[in-house]
């Protein structure tokens, strides 16, 4: 053992204490002892201290922070005896109580020099490495670990090979210290004091900043040659990495220095040129490019002034400055917008009508309004009227109708969806003070269109939202208001852009969800759902040819019979539009294409009402049909839904009770109020219909509307509820071929309703032949499709008394009376009246 002068190695952080991590070791607390040899007696069994992330070599003085109970007991045991412990690195630093397999086989016998107790039950132990050793056997004794060891004493050889290897190691270590900024140069002076090769190996290895996996092989090598080989290999690899790091750092430093030098010289040139009154040198060419765009383009006066201002900023701003990039992006947007470029309108009304008919079947009223709009545009050449808003269920052609308008006018068409937009900046843009700022969607789409008078479709305007970032609906007011949009100012551009020549078209599914301020500025055109015969025509003329082309098929490959389309529509779709219908036609095309490619189908496929199930499987839709027989305490109502119309079955259950009213079927507040109003009306008029008062007092009434998972609300079921209640109270059955709709007052008046067309279509699908409706809605009958008026007989009424006369059968009758055709014609004539 030795007692020489101490050096100051910089070991890696020690993880010796239980649950603690120590980030530094003070230089005066660690060192190196390489003085003259002293003989020390080492016991064959020593207390064990496992180490985390550190390897201790012989002659190395190192502080350990110990917190594990077993390690503390090992130190106490050592202090009682020879003050010797065995320190060995553990393989997994996270292992709290490592077993024999969790430790490396070789470690170091160390002598305890000093102990210092610290707070939190931690002790600091200064140890000095004495000799290499390996573990023979491990024992658990009194809560600590002890090991039987085998000492390893490398043979000191002063052969020419060992001397040459030592010189190589010293030179590599000198290079390592020079390249590594974490090691002090004083270490190199200490290495000259080491004369023994075995001590030299341990001295250099202790100062190499590396992990346990790299340093442990040097400790485990038992021959001196093997120790030097492992050491030189580690040093060569480290020196190569450090050389590469220094090269990269030098390149980065040179690049930064060059950039700073160029910036300094450019600033000097700018100052000199400014003093001489000369133009600066535009190295990137951006200034010249923007100047040329400004001189050759046609821009409003405000835009020219703003562009000149930004160009002057660009001229005096260094090219490498972040502000220069912001200015360039802004100028790119300014010069990319169509300030003066516009499309030449094609105002041929006959051609526009032809294009609309080519692209869409039906939609007579929307087409008429569009043609009126174009006619006025042709007369005045500049239209500042209301914005068109198409309202209707999904799949009825709102978006494609806007595209057809653009095609008929020969204008550019752009569309952007407002669904889910909740930030005002989406419309007006972000101010340039924000990183990554850009214009709003209106300006972006004008750039995409390339003209100042495109057709811009604002889709799903009823699905906008708002939050803490602002209300996009309020930002749209300026865009859609004809009195304001001639000076629309985007936050990013901070320039007025004239939107008065843009034709804005909006779409929505539900008019009630459109913000009122926007709704007031738009002309709403309803696009109702398609009738069965309209869907058949659309499928035949548009959907089938398009899908045949998309799937690589010809008319000779797939065809439909007269009832084929009807079967697909009624059995596999339930919608107001035709999206699901197109998906089913596409599915049929795919199946036919597969069979054609496989060679199993060469003949033409013909889809009929009988074989459609073989191709599409079990029908998806179970159509609601009217009851087979008139029912007691049950009536049929009509409802409007987002996908068209539907029928409602009202059921009344009367049983002995306390006179309570129970409402089930997920009824909304308005419908529950309608039910109570209907019951009140019936009780007030009970004597007229010969209903005893005790009938109400001694019974609980249960009103139920089937399909309880679907929410239902609205006042138009009032007459239907009153009819079902009257049927239960009088014992007279309700006709099963008749449906009704209308709001009921306490005085028995029948008030107007909405969605008449959708409700009439639902009645036809259910097999209903007659419909009761409010007198106020009679004027809408003339606008219904002739096909609807042929299939339904309408009965306009103004009082509930008229409803019951039409709906209730005579007491005791269980079937409908035989009606002559003349009666049906009379009813139809009353409806037209």
Active-site residues, by number, are 716, 759
Structure tokens given for 212: 């346990």
| Helical axes 212-220 vs 197-207, angle rounded to 10° | 170
N residues, the chain: 833
Question: Please, are residues 435 and 441 in contact by the beta-carbon 8 Å criterion?
Answer: no
Nearest CA to 462 out of 526, 421, 396, 509 is that of 509
Q: How do 770-774 and 793-797 pair as beta strands?
A: parallel
Nearest CA to 306 out of 338, 330, 288, 329 is that of 330
Question: Please, are residues 617 and 588 in contact by the beta-carbon 8 Å criterion?
Answer: no
List the beta bridge partners of residue 663. Answer: 703
Three-state secondary-structure class, residue 128: strand
Q: In whole angstroms, what is the distance from residue 215 CA to residue 230 CA?
A: 9
Q: In whole angstroms, what is the distance from residue 800 CA to residue 402 CA?
A: 44
Q: In whole angstroms, what is the distance from residue 812 CA to residue 806 CA?
A: 16
**For residue 310, how far is the Cα from the chain centroid?**
37
Q: In whole angstroms, what is the distance from residue 121 CA to residue 736 CA?
A: 90
Q: Where are the alpha helices (DSSP H) in 574-616?
A: 579-598, 612-616
Question: Please, are residues 346 and 410 in contact by the beta-carbon 8 Å criterion?
Answer: yes
Q: In whole angstroms, what is the distance from residue 697 CA to residue 436 CA?
A: 72
Question: Please, are residues 679 and 638 in contact by the beta-carbon 8 Å criterion?
Answer: no
Cα distances (angstroms) measured from residue 306 to each of 212, 294, 300, 381, 496: 65, 11, 10, 31, 11
Q: In whole angstroms, what is the distance from residue 530 CA to residue 512 CA?
A: 21
Sign of CA pseudo-dihedral 721, 723, 727, 729:
positive
Q: Specify burial of residue 86 (Cβ count, 10 A radius: 0-12, 13-18, 19+).
A: buried
Please write down the HEC assignment for all residues of 634-673.
EEEEEEEECCEEEEEEEEEEEEECCCCEEEECCECHHHHH
Cα distances (angstroms) measured from residue 368 to each of 352, 371, 410, 456, 589: 11, 5, 19, 20, 35
Q: In whole angstroms, what is the distance from residue 276 CA to residue 482 CA?
A: 52
Contacts of 1 (CB under 8 A, 6+ apart): 33, 37, 38, 39, 40, 111, 130
Question: Please, are residues 71 and 43 in contact by the beta-carbon 8 Å criterion?
Answer: no
Q: In whole angstroms, what is the distance from residue 782 CA to residue 80 CA?
A: 113
Rg of the chain (C-alpha set): 46
Q: In whole angstroms, what is the distance from residue 485 CA to residue 500 CA?
A: 6
Contacts of 556 (CB under 8 A, 6+ apart): 604
Q: In whole angstroms, what is the distance from residue 556 CA to residue 722 CA?
A: 56
Structure tokens given for 827: 């009813």
What one-character-per-residue DSSP string does 224-246 give? HHHHHHHHHHHHHHHHHHHHHHH
Question: Please, are residues 556 and 606 in contact by the beta-carbon 8 Å criterion?
Answer: no
Question: Please, are residues 579 and 395 in contact by the beta-carbon 8 Å criterion?
Answer: yes
């Amino acid at each position: 053992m030795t007692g020489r002068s101490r050096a100051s190695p910089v070991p890696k952080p020690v993880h010796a204490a239980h649950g603690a991590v120590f980030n530094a070791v003070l230089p005066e607390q660690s060192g190196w002892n390489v003085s003259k040899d002293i003989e020390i007696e080492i016991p064959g069994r020593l207390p064990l201290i496992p180490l985390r992330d550190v390897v201790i070599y012989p002659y190395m003085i190192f502080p350990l922070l110990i917190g594990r109970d077993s390690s503390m007991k090992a130190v106490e045991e050592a202090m009682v005896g020879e003050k010797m412990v065995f320190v060995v690195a553990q393989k997994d630093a996270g292992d709290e109580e490592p077993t024999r397999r969790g430790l490396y086989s070789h470690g170091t016998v160390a002598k305890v020099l000093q102990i210092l107790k610290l707070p939190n039950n931690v002790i600091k132990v200064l140890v000095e490495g004495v000799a290499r050793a390996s573990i023979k056997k491990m024992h658990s004794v009194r809560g600590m670990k002890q090991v039987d060891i085998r000492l390893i004493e490398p043979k000191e050889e002063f052969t020419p090979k060992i001397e040459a290897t030592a010189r190589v190691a010293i030179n590599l270590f000198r290079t390592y210290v020079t390249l590594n900024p974490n090691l002090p140069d004083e270490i190199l002076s200490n290495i000259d004091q080491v004369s023994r090769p075995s001590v030299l190996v341990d001295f250099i290895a202790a100062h190499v900043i590396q992990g346990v996996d790299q340093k442990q092989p040097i400790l485990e090598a038992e021959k001196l040659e093997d120790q030097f080989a492992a050491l030189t290999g580690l040093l060569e690899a480290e020196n190569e990495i450090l050389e590469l790091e220094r090269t990269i750092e030098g390149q980065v430093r040179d690049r930064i220095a060059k950039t700073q030098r160029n910036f300094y010289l450019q600033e000097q040139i700018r100052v000199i040129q400014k003093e001489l009154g000369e133009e600066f040198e535009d190295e990137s060419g951006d200034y010249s490019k923007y100047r040329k765009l400004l001189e050759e383009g046609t821009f409003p006066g405000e835009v020219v002034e703003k562009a000149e201002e930004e160009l002057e900023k660009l001229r005096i701003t260094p090219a490498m400055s972040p502000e220069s990039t912001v200015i360039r992006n802004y100028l790119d947007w300014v010069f990319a917008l169509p300030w003066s470029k516009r499309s030449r309108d094609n105002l041929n009304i006959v051609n526009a009508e032809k294009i609309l008919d080519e692209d869409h079947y039906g939609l007579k009223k929307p087409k008429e309004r569009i043609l009126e709009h174009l006619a006025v545009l042709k007369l005045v050449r500049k239209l500042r009227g209301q914005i068109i808003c198409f309202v209707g269920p999904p799949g009825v052609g709102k978006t494609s109708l806007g595209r057809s308008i653009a095609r008929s006018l020969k204008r550019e068409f752009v569309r952007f969806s407002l669904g889910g937009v909740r930030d005002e900046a989406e419309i007006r843009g972000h101010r340039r003070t924000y990183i990554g700022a850009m214009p709003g969607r209106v300006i972006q789409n004008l750039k995409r269109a390339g003209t100042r008078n495109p057709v811009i479709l604002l889709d799903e305007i009823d699905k906008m939202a708002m939050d803490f970032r602002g209300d996009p609906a309020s930002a749209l007011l300026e865009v859609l208001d004809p009195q304001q949009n001639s000076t629309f100012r985007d936050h990013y551009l901070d320039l007025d852009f004239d939107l008065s020549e843009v034709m804005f078209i909006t779409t929505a599914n539900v008019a009630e969800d459109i913000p009122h301020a926007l709704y007031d500025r738009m002309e709403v055109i309803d696009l109702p759902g398609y009738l069965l015969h309209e869907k058949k025509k659309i499928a035949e003329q548009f959907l089938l040819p398009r899908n045949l082309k998309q799937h690589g098929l010809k008319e000779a490959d797939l065809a439909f019979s007269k009832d084929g389309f009807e079967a697909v529509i009624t059995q596999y779709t339930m919608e107001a539009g035709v999206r699901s219908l197109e998906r089913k036609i596409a599915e049929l095309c795919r199946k036919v294409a597969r069979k054609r490619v496989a060679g199993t189908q060469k003949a033409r496929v013909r889809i009929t009402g009988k074989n459609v199930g073989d191709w599409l499987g079990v029908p998806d839709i179970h159509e609601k049909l009217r009851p087979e027989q008139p029912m007691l305490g049950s009536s049929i109502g009509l409802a409007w839904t987002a996908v068209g119309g539907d029928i409602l079955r009202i059921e009344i259950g009367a049983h002995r009770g306390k006179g309570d009213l129970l409402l089930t079927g997920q009824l909304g507040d308005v419908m529950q109020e309608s039910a109570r109003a209907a019951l009140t009306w019936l009780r007030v008029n009970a004597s007229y219909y010969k209903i005893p008062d005790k009938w109400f007092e001694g019974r609980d009434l249960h009103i139920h509307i089937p399909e309880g998972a679907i929410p239902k609300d609205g006042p138009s079921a009032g007459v239907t509820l009153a009819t079902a209640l009257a049927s239960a109270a009088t014992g007279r059955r309700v006709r099963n071929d008749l449906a009704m709709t209308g709001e009921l007052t306490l005085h028995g008046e029948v008030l107007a309703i909405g969605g008449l067309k959708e409700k009439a279509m639902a009645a036809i699908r259910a097999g209903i032949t007659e419909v009761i409706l409010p007198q106020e809605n009679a004027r809408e009958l003339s606008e219904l499709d002739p096909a609807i008026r042929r299939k339904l007989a309408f009965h306009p009424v103004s009082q509930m008394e008229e409803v019951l006369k039409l709906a209730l059968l005579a007491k005791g009758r269980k079937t409908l009376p035989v009606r002559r055709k003349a009666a049906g014609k009379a009813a139809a004539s009353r409806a037209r009246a």
